[in-house]
Amino acid sequence: MKRYFTFALAFCFCMALSAQNLFVGTYNIRNHNSSDDSKGNVWTKRCQVICDQINFEDPDIFGTQEVLVGQLHDLLKGLDGYGYVGVGRDDGKEDGEYSAIFYKKDRLELLQKGNFWLNETPDKPVLGWDAACVRICSWGEFRQKETGFRFYYFNLHMDHIGIVARREAAKLVVKKIKEIAKGAPSVLTGDFNVDQTDEIYGIFTSSGILEDSYLKARHRFCENGSFNDFHPEYTTTSRIDHVFLSPNFEVDRYALLTNMYWTETAAEQPELKSTQAPGETSFRKSTLRTPSDHYPVLVKIKYKN
């Protein structure tokens, strides 16, 4: 009996250690608008590609930005087994863009959730400081069903214009994470609209409660920056989409995924052949496109007690 108890205890201990692995990420999917559609970056196609990509990678949880309510429902239909946390930023209901957090319902249990706005009165959806848009941070507390591991997940989209708004919002977010998570394991994801050289990035990395997963990664696949402006030929070193973590998280793998898709060109293209391919293989020139004007960041992490 004693031997059985020891074995059971050891088994449970090992399970608890292994279950603290998480696969997280952030993805600005680009709001649906007629201008993008007219240029060939059609939401229905982009949504299909985004969902196929996420379903293949299969993260446990990931943050999104610029999600309008119609896009939210489209994503929920296309994604396999995900629930969400978040509200529209303009009214706290469905109006305006969401900074929605999607999570695998069979792996994670949502314990509590909330939102705060990036302004001087965080409980109200109003403009903050010199911001051009109302901005929100959505969060949830989750329990990993397999092991009972609990963690907090925060997701946001900082302003693209207001420098003061970004600076003050960064200070507010650090303060709120301390108040809400109270030292518990935490992940912060989002489109921060500042790269790794900006002073506002430093507010997070010097906070003592958050570190950049890119810098901590044991393995890294990152051949470009995170914003592409719907131009697959553009390259940059700027990473404006970040995954910040509590210091006790280890980072095994970090990837900024530059997957593309193709659409037919306006004019019909002739069939092409290659002397290096079998005779039945034929090609047509197509237009190379990105699923969003941002690339997703996906990170495999482990919590170390």
| pLDDT for residue 2 | 54
Is 1 inside any structural domain?
Answer: no
How crowded is residue 121: how many other Cβ atoms within 10 Å of its Cβ?
A: 10
Q: What pLDDT is attached to residue 101?
A: 99
Domain with 136 in it: 20-303
What is the reported pTM?
A: 0.93
The b-or-e profile of 200-234 (16+ CB within 10 A means b, else e) is bbebbeebebbbbbbebbeebebebbbbbebeeee
- CB-CB contact of 25 with 296 (8 Å): yes
Question: Left (φ > 0), alpha (ψ -120 to 50) or beta: where does 81 sit?
Answer: left
Cα atoms found within 13 Å of the Cα of residue 33, Cβ hemisphere only: 10
User: What's the rounded Cα separation, in Å, for the pair 122 and 119?
Assistant: 6
Q: What tens digit of pLDDT does each residue of 25-74 get?
A: 999 999 999 999 999 999 999 999 999 999 999 999 999 999 999 999 99
Domain annotation covers residue 143: yes
pLDDT in tens, 288-299: 999 999 999 999
**pLDDT tens digits along 158-167:** 999 999 999 9
Q: How far is CA 223 from CA 92, 216, 235, in A?
A: 37, 17, 9
DSSP designation for 248: T
pLDDT digits (tens, 9 = 90+) for 131-181: 999 999 999 999 999 999 999 999 999 999 999 999 999 999 999 999 999
Q: How many domains does the chain have?
A: 1
Between these two residues, 221 and 19, which has the higher pLDDT value? 221
Is residue 176 assigned to a domain?
A: yes
Residue 2 counted as domain residue:
no
CATH number at residue 124: 3.60.10.10
> 67-122: per-residue pLDDT in tens?
999 999 999 999 999 999 999 999 999 999 999 999 999 999 999 999 999 999 99
User: Does 14 map to a domain?
Assistant: no
Q: Is position 12 within any domain?
A: no
Residue 4 counted as domain residue:
no
For residue 95, tell me if it sits in a domain. Answer: yes
